[in-house]
Structure 1
């Protein structure tokens, strides 16, 4: 997962090391942003496994080979257990952190539906006069700015 290797495709290898390596966290760095109550909230390092399987909580456990390759990140040698899932085509095109996960259950479909039908952004503003006696009807302003969609209707 670190990529095809430093010699086979040095540019892709450098992008994986630069953008797609998690951490180091845990015992290597307890002050990392991902640390919650003494462990990584993203469950890194992942374990080596021969096959991709459907994991607990709808996230898959991706195949991670123990090919003994490492990359130096933050002063530590990290292996495939620390690589965030990626698509090499997207990584090469955008030269940016692009996390790629498999969505394969009903929770993912519900999330995507809710996200797509979220509605447009809204802004509420008021032009006020210097008159101290001008009242604002906050309740009607809130009701006028509300958005009801099929996702929110129960």
Structure 2
């Protein structure tokens, strides 16, 4: 079962890629989005919710397996956060790129409450929640930008 948890937690082992595993995980999130973006929104959100639950379980297990809190190789949180940042945006290169960049910025800078979740909630839930909020920040900023500057 450890192998299954690590496969999920590391985003199909993308978390083992050299340098910036979170960025690799976000790139996997974009790839997953390319497979899912045509789904009806309720189905898409259900898929993201299922990945979130799997992420909480597998990220928590991965912490125990590698005996390290919030290990960098765990990127399921970035995948879910990126899927949230990409939710409801048009299939166009600029919005996709902006969603990727904005999510990475919020994931790295951790404005409130992203940083609060990162430092106060531990285990799999804590690993996942900061990226959920980083994804929400990215989505809201991107949607406002598209509304005011065109899509």
TM-score normalised according to structure 1 size: 0.23
Structure 1 or 2, whichever has the larger Rg, is 1
TM-score normalised according to structure 2 size: 0.23
Structure with higher RCO (Cα < 8 A, 6+ apart): 2
